[in-house]
Amino acid sequence: MRLILAILFAVLAAPSLLAAEVVFPPAGKHKVDLLTVGMAKEAEAIGRKLQQSLAADPAWLESYLKETAKPGEPLPYHQKMGVTRDEYATFLAAAGNMKLKKLSDAVVSFEQAPEKLTLRIEGVALPCDTFAFSPDGRTMECSLGRSGAPRTIDLKDESAPMGAWTGSEWALRGGSLTPSLTGREDAYRAEVAIGKDSNQRNLIYLRIVGRRNETPMDITYVLRWPQ
């Protein structure tokens, strides 16, 4: 669902900015809540219809994006989206009112070594579950690739799904997300953020969308502790 949101809202990659200070949780294992960002079932059903329709004609979608897309704004409605104008409005309204919901318990661990700090996520099926950070926090590596410098997160909106929180986010990408709806080539974007919310709970935000090894990826998880 996050992939279709990224396309409909023409979300573009923000430039990487070196965080003023990268702060990691203490080393050790932590039992965490595994959460995801969701919307109402009706809106999710509309989202699936949208994704199927857009995947059926990627050439038109690419052309429509070039003609009408504005970063951070939803695409104007078009009948080729495969839903009615009212359904599209319902979907966009739900996208602006998404909430966190718990899926299960999980475990995260941080292992500190002189040359790197390693984050491992256990109990969750992921395209990659191990992330290695340089000691100064400037880079992150995983099986999908290597990031550049992180950007600082300072979200003050308590009404957002994760509430107000601060931290650092590392991002990497391969290929273009638009043809990844139907293509076979690798095309993905991955974001990993580590921080704390206004209640001083530790947060890990993990978002992976696109396609790799001909397998679609559409994952948005939040890991939060103490529980």
pLDDT at 177: 60
Q: How far is CA 50 from CA 79, 92, 135, 173, 185, in A?
A: 11, 12, 43, 24, 22
% of the chain surpassing 70 pLDDT: 87
Evaluate if residue 4 carries a pLDDT over 70.
no
Evaluate if residue 225 carries a pLDDT over 90.
yes
**How many domains is the chain partitioned into structurally?**
1
Average pLDDT over the chain reads 85
pLDDT at 201: 97
- Structure pTM? 0.74
Residue 22 has φ and ψ, to the nearest 5°, of -100, 120
Separation CA 137–CA 133 (nearest Å): 6
| Token pair recorded at residue 178 | 């638009």
| Residue 120: pLDDT band with limits 50, 70, 90 | very high
181-212 pLDDT, tens digit each: 555 678 888 999 999 999 999 999 999 988 88
pLDDT at 5: 55
N-to-C CA span, the chain: 26
pLDDT at 113: 93
* Residue recorded with tokens 């839903």: 83
| Token pair recorded at residue 195 | 């921080």
10-61 pLDDT, tens digit each: 443 333 334 457 889 999 999 999 999 888 888 889 988 998 888 888 889 8
* Residue recorded with tokens 């696109």: 210
What is the sign of the dihedral through the CA atoms of 196, 153, 129 and 112?
Answer: negative
Structural domain span for residue 90: 2-225
Closest alpha carbon to 137 in 116, 155, 154, 121: 116
